[in-house]
Structure 1
Amino acid sequence: MAINKATITGNITRDPELRQTQGGTSVLTIGVAVNDRRKNKQTGEWEDYPNFIDCTIFGNRATGVAPHLEKGMKVAIEGKLNQSRWQAEDGTNRSKIEIIVDEIEFMSRQQGQTASKPVQQQPQQFAPQAAPQPMQQQPMQQFAPQPMQQPVQAAPVQQAMPMMQQAAPQQVASIYDEDIPF
């Protein structure tokens, strides 16, 4: 069994590029810089070594997130690694590894981003509301408890409890009696 799952966090390195395939599928490509921190053996200082990862988003998700992404934003991405291979114009074989995005999360906004570009995918509509009225102080007497009404008669719960208490140990025992499948 093989697991192909990648999770990264980093900053978008270029503005997203949204295009359509001949079949009409939306494809969004972004680059994400992920810093790897290492100690320089010569100076003893910690240094950042960036890794530039190409990420591709397909379908409706691509068109949905494209307007909200821009260079410099911090994102978290989860997806699958994919190796693309092709032959360059000079005849050499080329390849690159990219992440095919399953999930993307916006971790910060670009500096200077205004409220005109919200990070919501679906706009919400709210009914207009009247302006709030100032609170008036009321005497404490008005908040006295109201007389209690008679409660509605319900079936006694105690009769059902012994059945549940007896069934629980049998159910737990049957779970642990099963063989492990591997």
Structure 2
Amino acid sequence: MKAMAARTEAKDDDLVALARRGDRDAFSTLVARHYDFVFRVAWRWCGRRTDAEDIAQEVCVRLGKAIQGFRGEGRFTTWLYQLTLNAARDHGRRLAREATRVAAYGVHALSAAAVVEPEPEDAAEALWEAVRQLPPKQCEAVLLVYGEGLSHDAASDVMGCAEATVSWHIHEARKRLKALMRPVREE
């Protein structure tokens, strides 16, 4: 009981070190601690609960394989952002391929892409839906800065680019969002 409580209070770096050595309890603690965060990032990226759940599960699987590659040169959560965004992008590409196959060959497959999502109910959801229509890098910058509350500097670490580049993506995203949201405001 004390060992489990100690693991729950342990720092991420300590848990990562233990997990890299094969400690399953430490790995489970990491997953439990960060699952909601991973799900939230995935949901903001794709906007669909079922897809966000699939992405979060994929991240957990990938984390088990990839944790050996985490060297602690940055924060664990920064690395986890990257892992989550990569899984979200891969999921989106899979859905796009599935939709293309269905359209091209008339293949009928039940997938999350085939489920009709309800229209956004409030202004915040409408805004996130518009964010998801932005070019990928702009979407990612907005997700990290406004969705997750990261500074431009921290977002640049996640995105692997200069802080000024993040600022530019945010600037361009604001311009596009004004145009995308204009029809909503006029209704």
Q: Report the TM-score range of the alignment, normalised by the length of the smaller protein.
A: under 0.3
- How does the TM-score come out when normalised to structure 2? 0.23
Decide which structure has greater strand share. Answer: 1
Relative to its length, the structure with more helix (as a share) is 2
- What TM-score does the superposition give when structure 1 sets the normalisation length? 0.23
Which of these two proteins has the greater Rg computed from alpha carbons?
1
